[in-house]
Structure 1
């Protein structure tokens, strides 16, 4: 008799725990996890790290008994509007081909470009054309791009996300769903997830509430307005078996740089507490589905 399928494995975006690799690995070790998502090391994006530094990083991660589940790239993100130079994104993807091979991962997080003041029609044409070209290049290189429901043309709308997939028409493009982004961007996250769940290949876990002043405050998973547990139930119902990667935003909010603000720094203790809370939620949800 075959055993029951396992539930998704927990992971974390390392710089949410600490700027440097030592602290990031310490946080994983404290949680007993072995999946790390890399975004920056000491503030430097993975694609900008010298290749010899990536070689050393990969060795240290392996020696710690961990693996890299994904790289969170800057491609198409809040800092790169659709009016910007597409060459920057192509160059980043080219740099990541070799670095991802060294790190032992093929999954790269992207977004689909803030408008930069373009009309809605031109914004859509530009974003779809750029992502299609990136997907073609990723397919040739053996990478998988996962588009996040965040900044960009297809970030806040299920129809646009599905349109983006259809236009790219590539096995190298799937979706990344972040449970907390709906609160920050003003849409119903669980409703969006119900539409796109079959196409989701990677998940970020965060939770948030809207403040009386209209800002977003981030809170432990399950304690905010994002419907994190409902999202987990939707994923479980669709048989999701990818990673659940925590991105607490309690002490680090990279997008504040766009406003000239202080993004903060990671915090190992808060990261570990956040991970424990995710474990509780995931255990409850997947146990109800009969998954060990």
Structure 2
């Protein structure tokens, strides 16, 4: 397993990751950000990666509508996904991550069928470019976040992977350890983000290792299912900012390296 971090898509991020001793960066080109802007920066990012020896472990797009109200695929977002998959190929990034929105006007079956059609196109496009496709278990405009959806969609598409983050399962009241044991063989990318729940409500997303997640068992399951992909640190707290945030990132890097048996 490799340890990396989510960061802004700019050359300085590679130096930041190298200074932390990390192997890769993850870039999130989310809804509202034109994929073309990121594509234009790819040559600069590629040069920074070559200079620092830091790779790109994942590129993702969260929050977008991919399915229209009539169940058809939204062409603009399909083309944005293709553009980001092309960027993955150019940067040597192995995984592209995205979701699929739930259309209330359609049945669950019709939603699943539309999502399968969308991901089939991405899988075909990615396969030709050496890039694998994963859904995210974040609830941000995607319903493919639990076993019900995975059985239908991933069950039908054996090449489709999962980007997993235990915090999303915890906040939704799901059993993240069971999900990992049952579906970890389909994981292509993993987020490392702390989560604290008090009286049934989300309190904060502190650095991993300073939260309630059972990271020891989490890692034991990843080892048990043979996971060999990226572990991407996700700073995501309103409390841990600035100098405190930097200290939290360094704490998590040290903490995860111990779980990775690196000292």
Instruction: Give TM-score scaled by structure 1 length.
Output: 0.75
C-alpha distance in structure 1 between counterparts of 2:192 and 2:24, whole Å: 14
1:227–1:68 distance in 2 versus 1, CA, 3 Å? same
- How many pairs are equivalent? 257
Compute the displacement of 1:71 (Å).
0.9
Where does residue 247 of structure 1 map in the other structure?
Answer: 234
Where does residue 91 of structure 2 map in the other structure?
Answer: 103
Map 1:259-270 to 2 at 5 A. 267-270=245-248
Q: Is 1:158 the counterpart of 2:158 in the alignment?
A: no
Compute the displacement of 1:35 (Å).
1.3
- Would you identify which runs of 4 or more consecutive aligned residues in structure 1 move more than 6 Å? none
Where does residue 12 of structure 1 map in the other structure?
Answer: 5
Compute the displacement of 1:107 (Å).
1.2
Compute the displacement of 1:9 (Å).
1.5
Q: Is 1:39 the counterpart of 2:28 in the alignment?
A: yes
CA contact (8 A) 2:165 2:190 kept: yes
CA contact (8 A) 2:101 2:143 kept: yes
C-alpha distance in structure 1 between counterparts of 2:223 and 2:66, whole Å: 34
Instruction: Give TM-score scaled by structure 2 length.
Output: 0.82
5+ residue gaps, structure 2: none
C-alpha distance in structure 1 between counterparts of 2:66 and 2:81, whole Å: 17
Higher mean displacement: 187-196 or 84-93:
84-93
Where does residue 259 of structure 1 map in the other structure?
Answer: none
C-alpha distance in structure 2 between counterparts of 1:45 and 1:265, whole Å: 24
Q: Deviations over 1:112-168 (max 9, x none)?
A: 32445644333223223322232223223332101222232321x224213312322
Where does residue 192 of structure 2 map in the other structure?
Answer: 205
Where does residue 274 of structure 1 map in the other structure?
Answer: 252
C-alpha distance in structure 2 between counterparts of 1:214 and 1:106, whole Å: 35
Where does residue 78 of structure 1 map in the other structure?
Answer: 63
3-state SS, counterpart of residue 207 of structure 1: coil
Compute the displacement of 1:13 (Å).
1.1
Map 1:3-152 to 2 at 5 A. 8-15=1-8, 20-22=10-12, 24-40=13-29, 47-49=35-37, 51-72=39-60, 74=61, 77-80=62-65, 82-83=67-68, 86-116=74-104, 118-151=106-139, 152=142
CA contact (8 A) 1:153 1:160 kept: yes
3-state SS, counterpart of residue 149 of structure 2: helix
Q: Deviations over 1:95-126 (max 9, x none)?
A: 12332222122311122324456443332232
